[in-house]
Amino acid sequence: MKEEKQFGELFGFRHNEIANIVGVSQGLWSMYAIGRRSLPTRAYLRLAKMILFEEQQKNNPPAVRQLQPEERKHWEDKLNLNQISQHNIIKKLREHQEKYKPARKGLELLAFVTDESQAADFVADEMEKRRKDTFFPVLKARLEGVIERNSLHLQEQYEVKLQVLQCEEKCLKEKLSF
Picking from 37, 59, 81, the residue at the C-terminal end of a domain is 59
Does residue 44 share a domain with residue 74?
Answer: no
How many domains are there within the chain? Answer: 2
pLDDT tens profile 63-101: 656 668 888 899 899 999 999 999 999 999 999 999 999
Question: Helix 26-33 vs helix 2-11: angle between axes, to the nearest 10 degrees?
Answer: 110
pLDDT tens profile 28-39: 888 888 888 888
pTM of the entire predicted model: 0.56
Does residue 165 share a domain with residue 85?
Answer: yes
Does residue 83 share a domain with residue 154?
Answer: yes
Does residue 41 share a domain with residue 74?
Answer: no
Specify if 64 maps to a domain: no
pLDDT of residue 94: 96
Picking from 23, 41, 59, the residue at the C-terminal end of a domain is 59
Per-residue pLDDT band for 1 (boundaries 50, 70, 90) equals: very low
pLDDT tens profile 47-56: 888 888 877 8
Does residue 96 share a domain with residue 54?
Answer: no
Domain range for residue 42? Answer: 2-59
pLDDT of residue 91: 97
Does residue 51 share a domain with residue 75?
Answer: no
Cβ within 8 Å of residue 79, ≥6 positions away: 169, 172, 173, 176
